[in-house]
Chains A and B, each alone.
Chain A
Amino acid sequence: MSAQGTDGDTDAGAALPKTPRDYLPLLLPVALALAALPFVPSTSTWVTLTIAGLAMGMMIFVMASGLTLIFGLMDVLNFGHGAFIAIGAYMATLVLIPLAAWMQADSVWLNLAAVVPAVLFAMAVTGALGLAFERIVIMPVYGQHLKQILITMGGMIVAEQMLYAFFGPQQIPLPLPTSLRGSFQFGEAAIEKYRVVCVLVGLAVFLAMLAILNRSKIGLLIRAGVENTEMVEALGYRITRLFVGVFMAGSALAGLGGVMWALYREQVNAAMGGELLVLVFIVVIIGGLGSVTGCFIGALLVALATNYAGFLVPKLALVTDILLMVAVLLWRPRGLYPVTSR
């Protein structure tokens, strides 16, 4: 820590110390991956496990990023976020099952012609539901945490049950398109194609979010709003529009994550929302409520640890997320990158 603010109120001419940025958490996923290396019998297995962990982490990040952003800006923790994940997955089946022939065709273009509209449709529906949810369900309870938790949790149950009612209790199979099946071979290591796609999509979402937050005016507004919504309004901006926009975007991202997860598991069921919600919460807590970068690191950590543990000590994999969360909270009680103002 360097000394700062010693010049008091007069400008003594000394340059300000460089903004202290905290890079330590960024090293954690790397450290974890390297720490696992000696325990895994072969390097090729390690590569496979690591890529699998990264892919899973990216999917969780896509689901969790919206939740943490919404919390940071609006101080609302949406316990119904899991429902948006599941709804996204079901919406994709509505497009993909009729287009099954294109999915099974041996043509990248036909595959894409099925997957892209499915993703867009899922995101559009979850985004629109996000809009309705924010305006109707959440707006009356801004600033009341207890009611927020109860109502959004209730909303989650209702949404999950509606999925059961409309789509039935059985799992719906959702095979990957032909061109995403199989794996690349790097020497001994086999890397599934779809996992590479997940890593690329996750990275793209992360970089796009960082770019928007740091380079665009909307991003400036969001960062300013996270700190002080009142002052943003006093500068003449309608914060409610920003709230709605971020809520829609966050819900659409949940939808996207749901589609990615469904294709990864190659099946959809209504319980997935609730199960993933727990994982998403752990990731968001590890990262620090409200922090996108923290969420990214948290997602990678959780997924890598689960994958290594699943291979090395399968029983331990049941509780790696919780243990990881406890370890991080012992180190930093508010998570890796807590958002300052709340």
Chain B
Amino acid sequence: MSELLTLSGVETHIGRYHILHGVELGVPEGQTTMLLGRNGAGKTTTLRTIMGLWRASGGEIRFGGERIDALSTPAIARAGIGYVPETMAVFSDLTVKENLVLAAREGEMDQTRLDWIFGFFPPLRKFWLSRAGTLSGGQKQMLSFARSLIEPRRLLLIDEPTKGLAPAIIGALIDCLKEVKRRGATILLVEQNFRVAQAIGDTVGVMDNGRVVHAGTMAELVADEAMQQRLLGLSLDTHQ
């Protein structure tokens, strides 16, 4: 299977701090790749480096075969990568509609696609003209997802979408991600919740100390209790 996104030897410095120490990661086309690891392992920094929000100081990042590590963030986004940050980052002064109008870069929103999104996230239809700042946390996450889906994108980078959300909403997000994958998109998802990871992941990368310390299939990880124990200890035994 070909890799849509490949990171080789990626180094990232933030100010005086050296965060990523040669990250090696492949994201196979059409699959959902889970990025696991404890807090501070470098997962968010990896996503931000792919997106160009931090500059890689070494190594290379290829997307569909092309180097993207020297491109600006807007150019990376235009190449077909959608980003759902950990903070959701909805524009709270703008209405739900205006948030999506901005996300639909090329102008008009496609009504069928919008209806498809409303199918997963009915509250967005209901609060269409409300300011995003007045939405609840779960609704903001729906909006953040919707923003990355309003136009078809080849790759979605999603950072801890289920953090702090109620189970019913997590269910809706999982359904949505499965459907997005079925339609052919590739997903790189940072997740702390192993149940969620198990439900939707095809492949797995586990990070520690700014490196990918394990890469393999989800099925392999689910089957191998010992490895699970070792890696889960690494990724989930954190006090949050």
Contact = CB atoms under 8 A, between A and B. Distances in A.
A236 B77 contact: yes
A245 to B, nearest CB: 15
A338 to B, nearest CB: 12
Given A7-B136, A10-B166, A234-B83, 13 more contacts: A5-B134, A9-B137, A9-B165, A11-B138, A19-B133, A221-B102, A224-B94, A227-B93, A231-B85, A231-B89, A234-B85, A235-B102, A340-B92
B92 A17 contact: no
A9 B78 contact: no
Contact of A234 (B51, B93, B130, B135): B51
Enumerate the 5 nearest inter-chain pairs by beta-carbon distance, A residue then B residue, closest first.
A9-B138, A236-B77, A9-B166, A233-B73, A231-B89
Interface residues on A, range: 20 to 34
A235 B130 contact: no
A8 interface: yes
Q: Which of A10, A232, A340 has the most CB of B within 10 A?
A: A10
Interface in B100-125: 101-103, 105, 122-123
A183 interface: no
Interface residues on B, range: 35 or more
19 contacts: A4-B134, A8-B166, A9-B139, A10-B138, A11-B122, A16-B130, A16-B134, A19-B130, A217-B101, A224-B102, A227-B92, A227-B93, A231-B89, A233-B74, A233-B77, A235-B103, A235-B105, A236-B77, A237-B102
A227 B147 CA distance: 16
Contacts of B138: 8-11
Contact of A237 (B83, B89, B91, B105): B105
A19 B136 contact: no
Q: Which of A4, A233, A340 has the most CB of B within 10 A?
A: A233
Interface in A217-243: 217, 220-221, 223-224, 226-228, 230-239
Given A9-B138, A234-B53, A220 B147 contact: no
Contact of B168 (A4, A10, A16, A238): A10
Q: Which of B98, B101, B105, B136 has the most CB of A within 10 A?
A: B136
Contact of B89 (A7, A10, A228, A340): A228
Contacts of B98: 220
A168 B55 CA distance: 50
B93 A235 contact: no
Nearest to A9: B138
A223 B91 contact: yes
Contacts of B101: 217, 220
Given A235-B105, A237-B105, A227 B91 contact: yes
Contacts of B74: 233, 236-239
A143 to B, nearest CB: 12
A11 B91 contact: no
